[in-house]
Amino acid sequence: MTFLLESVFNGMSIGAVLLLTALGLAIVFGIMGVINLAHGELMMLGAYTTFMVQNGFRQLGEGWFDAYLLIAVPLAFAVAAGVGVLLERGVIRYLYGRPLETLLATWGVSLILQQLVRSISWQMTLQIALFCLLFFGGRWFLSKRAIAPRWQAWVTPVLMVLSVGIGLTAGLVAGGAVGLAMTKPWFGAQGVDVTAPSWLRGGVNLWGVQFPFVRLLIIALTAVCLVAIYLFLLRSQWGLRIRAVTQNRSMSACLGIPTQTVDALTFALGSGLAGVAGCAISLLGSVSPNTGQNYIVEAFMVVVVGGVGKIVGSIVAALGIGLVNYVIGSGLMTRFLEPQTALFDFFEFFASTSMARVMVFILIIAFLQLRPAGLFPQKGRTVDA
Amino acid sequence: MPKLSQFSFPKDRLSGRELIVVAALALILIFLMPPLLPGFRLDLLHRYLALAIVALGIDLIWGFTGLLSLGHGIFFALGGYAIAMHLKLQVPATASSPLPDFMALYGVTELPWFWYPFYSFAFAVAAVVVIPALLGALLGYLVFRNRIRGVYFSILTQAAIIVFFNFFNGQQKLFNGTNGLTDFQTLLGFPVRDAQTQYWFYILTVIFLALAYLLCRWLTMGRFGRLLVAIRDDEARVRFSGYNPTSYKVLVFAISAALAGIGGAFFTLRTGIISPRAMDIAFSIEMVIWVAVGGRASLIGAILGALLVNFARSLLSEQFADIWLFFQGALFLIVVLALPTGIVGWLRTEAPNLIAKLLGRPQPVATYPELEFNPEVQYEREVLQREDK
């Protein structure tokens, strides 16, 4: 009995983290058909936001420190959603209908975000701000004047070179003048640690099974996110519009739904959920610039197994994969089997975290042989479009 | 977005001139480059030529067939491991144990059964090609049979590479885990790290690159090549025309995997190490960017891209260590947003227009590229020309 309870709980807590990371993907991938490989980096941004909020609250004193999660979760959502909107408006909207290109472009964004977190400093902030001011300001300014057609092709390259040059040198000069306070990276390449508030330490012991509070909180957070998404998609005005655009984009546009705003909103929602997921994983272990990479592929697996476009599928798939992962990885199966039999050796071989992943993938491939479109496939004529 | 199809119909016959150019380039690489380049750069060139073989394979499946594999590192690493296992079995007579050196660390007293065939050089060489090809065919068959396409295929290949990474990483007793196989001594009695042996490896790499190019060229011209392009552009229509795309896709994926295996073997011979790091997710996506930068659906582009991107990487990361990732990220964005046909495609179509535009000259009137390939239009034009005379 204890075994059963323990494995269900641990499987659920692995599944909850998976689900929280996959939820945003399920929305972006399922509803918009966009593969966002930068999703993991949006999680990482959420985790770093949590880290900064935690540092801020530590300055305020011990009593305040315990409450930082109340601010960190919404702020992580906001930061990730903001970056998500920038990403959608700046890159992805040019690539709708070309999923493979989107995949490559978002991978490029994820590399840039990783390196940005590693090397961001006041100097770099200054450089980026100056560049944006000069380049976009210059373009806006010039778009108001009439330019001879023969020179129009020169505008962007010249502005680009000028603003990169001025931005870089100004940053270098300022960095040389002020010194280390300006050039020291904020986070660096090393991981940072988020300390859980005191009320999250420890756990509760029921029926001989330990339930850590952190794990319980993550399960609760996942549940809250799920309920919120369902309410938003099924009960709100914009949720209705999102569902309409998912079903038939051109008809929705004809009926006056602003599809571009809907796209941006959907992407912001998915990215924001990634931020919340990042907040959750920051409680589980140290956070480094490539944290996101560890979660992204399994999250995609959840979406594929669940069936694209169905959030229910993602829920079932996440919990299922989490459970299988735990049962195989912890060597639970070997407890029930006779040692020295073939089956025992088989499960013994896969009884580690990394080998459990191997097993899970084999199971997923086998599963896709039976149900190529996932657990809850979309039905209808528009599917293959 | 410019149509890709205008670049994907290479000439239908391999002309004698092309063969001469390939042979001449190979001879230049073999005889002229070694004395011209300093040893360090030659080392890099050798590595990147090995990677160019992989790039050709990627171009075959992505540029021509539209299958974006993010898991070619698996095949690259398998090719490397196959040759490395043979090398590790060349235990010097002075060693205390007849097993590869790392096995003693983990208390392995008997050689695992699947290591035995690798005593044979011929088997190891065959394994470099056959094992990746078979695995590619199996994976491809399981995926394509269910009509899993597009991004789903990409995600599955990415998951597969994580699985193989974890497998090789976790098996210390079988493959030395994270550290990988390294510290090679001899191959067929020749010392591997010797400059002269390395020069032979270099020559072989160039020859195999040329052969791989000719193989891909032969595959992509004519009927088979057109089918690949048709699968890329409209798979449903190919199926309705009575072809079974699955078998073509499986075949081309297996060939591409074999090319990756060959590239991996030569790369391993040069670097002297193969480890699970070759199955990094990032490395496999990088392979795609080489092809994208050079120009997909252009075989020259794939080779050029592999060499250019890698040399740019080594130059940039020598100068500024942390700028490279920014640069690489920007490269992905540029290639997707502004340069979808890569350098070769850009040189063929847009560069002449851009120069004319910058100089303020009138631009040539563009027509639909399809007109140039339409036999009826061609026929009408010829008739009109004849009537004019």
B191 phi/psi in degrees, rounded to 5: -70, 125
- Is a pLDDT exceeding 70 seen at residue B367? no
Q: Which of A95, A298, A365 sits opposite B336 (nearest CB)?
A: A95
| B262: confidence class by pLDDT, cuts 50, 70, 90 | very high
pLDDT 10s digits, A143-187: 777 777 777 777 778 888 888 888 888 888 887 777 777 777 777
Distance in angstroms between the alpha carbons of the first and the last residue of chain B: 39
What are B193's two structure tokens? 């790290």
* Residue A121 near residue A186, CB atoms below 8 Å: yes
The dihedral sign for the CA sequence A11, A16, A17, A22 = positive
Tell me what pLDDT residue A268 has. 92
The total of other beta-carbon atoms located within 10 Å of residue B262's CB is 28
If phi over 0 gives left and psi between -120 and 50 gives alpha, with beta otherwise, what is residue A308?
beta
Query: What number is the average pLDDT over the span B313-325?
Result: 81
Contact residues for A60 (Cβ-Cβ < 8 A; gap 6+): none
Tell me what pLDDT residue B209 has. 93
Tell me what pLDDT residue B370 has. 67
Residues of B in contact with A307 (CB under 8 A): none
Query: What number is the average pLDDT over the span B291-313?
Result: 89
B316 burial type by CB count under 10 A (0-12 exposed, 13-18 middle, 19+ buried): middle
What are B192's two structure tokens? 């591997």
- Is a pLDDT exceeding 90 seen at residue B50? yes
* Residue B51 near residue B290, CB atoms below 8 Å: yes
Tell me what pLDDT residue B3 has. 46
A60 burial type by CB count under 10 A (0-12 exposed, 13-18 middle, 19+ buried): exposed
pLDDT 10s digits, B347-360: 887 777 777 777 77
Q: Does B3 touch chain A (CB under 8 A)?
A: no
Tell me what pLDDT residue B175 has. 82
- Is a pLDDT exceeding 80 seen at residue A379? no
If phi over 0 gives left and psi between -120 and 50 gives alpha, with beta otherwise, what is residue A98?
beta
Residues of B in contact with A35 (CB under 8 A): 151, 154-155
Query: What number is the average pLDDT over the span B276-304?
Result: 88
* Residue spans per domain, chain A: 2-120+185-192+206-370, 121-184
Q: Of B383, B307, B359, nearest to B52 (Cα)? A: B307
Tell me what pLDDT residue B8 has. 44
- Is a pLDDT exceeding 70 seen at residue A85? yes
- Is a pLDDT exceeding 90 seen at residue A343? no
Q: What is the DSSP letter of A192?
A: B
Query: What number is the average pLDDT over the span A316-344?
Result: 77
The ipTM value here is 0.80
Contact residues for A69 (Cβ-Cβ < 8 A; gap 6+): A50, A197, A279
Instruction: Decide if A100 and B357 are in contact by the 8 Å CB cutoff.
Output: no
Residues of B in contact with A385 (CB under 8 A): none
Q: Which of B66, B162, B333 sits opposite A108 (nearest CB)?
A: B333
- Is a pLDDT exceeding 70 seen at residue B9? no
Q: Does B169 touch chain A (CB under 8 A)?
A: yes
* Residue B253 near residue B132, CB atoms below 8 Å: no
Distance in angstroms between the alpha carbons of the first and the last residue of chain A: 49
Q: Of A368, A364, A351, nearest to A298 (Cα)? A: A364
Low-confidence winner among A74-88, B263-277, B296-310, B318-332 (lowest mean pLDDT): B318-332
Tell me what pLDDT residue A82 has. 92
Instruction: Decide if B150 and A100 are in contact by the 8 Å CB cutoff.
Output: yes
Locate the chain B residue with the closest alpha carbon to A370: B146
Most confidently modeled of A163-172, A269-278, A346-355, B320-329? Answer: A269-278
Q: How far apart are CA A6 and CA A297, in angstroms?
A: 26
Q: How far apart are CA A301 and CA A322, in angstroms?
A: 12
Q: How far apart are CA A50 and CA A113, in angstroms?
A: 17
Q: Does B83 touch chain A (CB under 8 A)?
A: no
pLDDT 10s digits, A127-144: 888 888 888 888 888 877
Q: For a pLDDT cut of 90, what percent of chain B falls above it?
A: 23
**Residue B181 β-bridge partners:** B274
Q: How far apart are CA A22 and CA A372, in angstroms?
A: 19
Q: How far apart are CA A48 and CA A292, in angstroms?
A: 11
Contact residues for A29 (Cβ-Cβ < 8 A; gap 6+): A35, A36, A300, A303, A308
A336 to chain B, minimum CA–CA distance in Å?
A: 24
- Is a pLDDT exceeding 80 seen at residue B49? yes
B292 to chain A, minimum CA–CA distance in Å?
A: 10
Burial letters A290-312, b for 16+ CB under 10 A, else e: bbbbbbbbbbbbbbbbbbbbbbe
Q: Of B356, B126, B132, B359, nearest to B255 (Cα)? A: B132
- Is a pLDDT exceeding 90 seen at residue B264? yes
pLDDT 10s digits, B332-348: 888 888 888 888 888 88
pLDDT 10s digits, B194-211: 888 888 889 899 999 999
Q: Are strands B186-187 and B190-191 parallel, antiparallel or unpaired?
A: antiparallel
Which DSSP helix (H) or strand (E) runs through A227? helix A213-235
Instruction: Decide if B158 and A297 are in contact by the 8 Å CB cutoff.
Output: yes
**Whole-number Cα distances in Å, B24 to A364, B30, B224:** 49, 10, 28
Residues of B in contact with A111 (CB under 8 A): 282, 325-326, 328-329, 332
Tokens 């909180």 sit at which residue?
A217
How many whole angstroms from its chain centre is CA B148? 23
A120 burial type by CB count under 10 A (0-12 exposed, 13-18 middle, 19+ buried): middle
Instruction: Decide if A153 and B281 are in contact by the 8 Å CB cutoff.
Output: no
Q: How far apart are CA B29 and CA B35, in angstroms?
A: 10
pLDDT 10s digits, B85-131: 888 888 777 777 777 777 777 777 778 888 888 888 899 899 999 99
Q: Which of A94, A114, A352 sits opposite B170 (nearest CB)?
A: A352
A192 phi/psi in degrees, rounded to 5: -115, 155
| B368: confidence class by pLDDT, cuts 50, 70, 90 | low
Q: Does B157 touch chain A (CB under 8 A)?
A: no
Query: What number is the average pLDDT over the span B253-270?
Result: 93
Q: Are strands B181-182 and B186-187 parallel, antiparallel or unpaired?
A: unpaired
Q: Which of A105, A355, A364 sits opposite B336 (nearest CB)?
A: A105
Would you list which residues of chain A are within 8 Å, Cβ to Cβ, of chain B? Answer: 35, 91, 94-95, 98-105, 107-112, 114-116, 118-119, 150, 153-154, 293, 297-298, 300-301, 304, 352, 354-355, 357-358, 361-362, 364-365, 368-369, 372, 384
Q: Which of B152, B156, B163 sits opposite A357 (nearest CB)?
A: B163
Instruction: Decide if A355 and B167 are in contact by the 8 Å CB cutoff.
Output: yes
Q: Which amino acid is it at A109? A: V
The pTM for the full model equals 0.84
pLDDT 10s digits, B130-186: 999 999 999 999 888 877 777 888 888 888 898 888 888 887 778 888 888 888 877
For residues A98 and B80, which has the higher predicted lDDT (pLDDT)? Answer: B80
Q: Which of A91, A114, A365 sits opposite B142 (nearest CB)?
A: A365
Contact residues for A213 (Cβ-Cβ < 8 A; gap 6+): A199, A200, A201, A202, A203, A204
Instruction: Decide if A115 and B322 are in contact by the 8 Å CB cutoff.
Output: yes
Most confidently modeled of A203-207, B53-57, B182-186? Answer: B53-57
Q: What is the DSSP letter of B29?
A: I
What are B346's two structure tokens? 């850009």
* DSSP one-letter string for A88-123: HHHTGGGGTT-HHHHHHHHHHHHHHHHHHHHH--HH
Query: What number is the average pLDDT over the span B49-64?
Result: 92
Tell me what pLDDT residue A338 has. 67
Q: How far apart are CA B176 and CA B115, in angstroms?
A: 13
Instruction: Decide if A372 and B146 are in contact by the 8 Å CB cutoff.
Output: yes
Locate the chain A residue with the closest alpha carbon to B160: A361
The dihedral sign for the CA sequence B55, B60, B63, B65 = negative
Residues of B in contact with A305 (CB under 8 A): none
A25 to chain B, minimum CA–CA distance in Å?
A: 13
Instruction: Decide if B68 and A369 are in contact by the 8 Å CB cutoff.
Output: no
Query: What number is the average pLDDT over the span A58-80?
Result: 81
Q: Does B112 touch chain A (CB under 8 A)?
A: no
A372 to chain B, minimum CA–CA distance in Å?
A: 6
pLDDT 10s digits, A228-239: 988 998 899 898
pLDDT 10s digits, A4-56: 777 777 788 888 888 888 888 888 887 777 888 888 899 999 888 888 888 88
Tell me what pLDDT residue B7 has. 45
Q: How far apart are CA B265 and CA B249, in angstroms?
A: 24
**Residue A206 β-bridge partners:** A209
The mean of the pLDDT values for chain B is 84
Instruction: Decide if A358 and B336 are in contact by the 8 Å CB cutoff.
Output: no
Instruction: List all residues of chain B from 280 to 299 with a beta carbon under 8 Å from chain A.
Output: 281-282, 285, 288-289, 292
Residues of A in contact with B283 (CB under 8 A): none
Residues of A in contact with B170 (CB under 8 A): 352, 354-355
Q: Does B351 touch chain A (CB under 8 A)?
A: no
Tell me what pLDDT residue B1 has. 40
Contact residues for A231 (Cβ-Cβ < 8 A; gap 6+): A239
For residues A210 and B370, which has the higher predicted lDDT (pLDDT)? Answer: A210
* Residue B304 near residue B197, CB atoms below 8 Å: no
**Whole-number Cα distances in Å, A340 to A347, B3, B174:** 11, 62, 21
Q: Does B152 touch chain A (CB under 8 A)?
A: yes
Contact residues for B318 (Cβ-Cβ < 8 A; gap 6+): none
Tell me what pLDDT residue B364 has. 61
Residues of B in contact with A95 (CB under 8 A): 336-337
**Residue B182 β-bridge partners:** B273
**Whole-number Cα distances in Å, A275 to A39, A47, A107, A217, A279:** 9, 7, 18, 16, 6
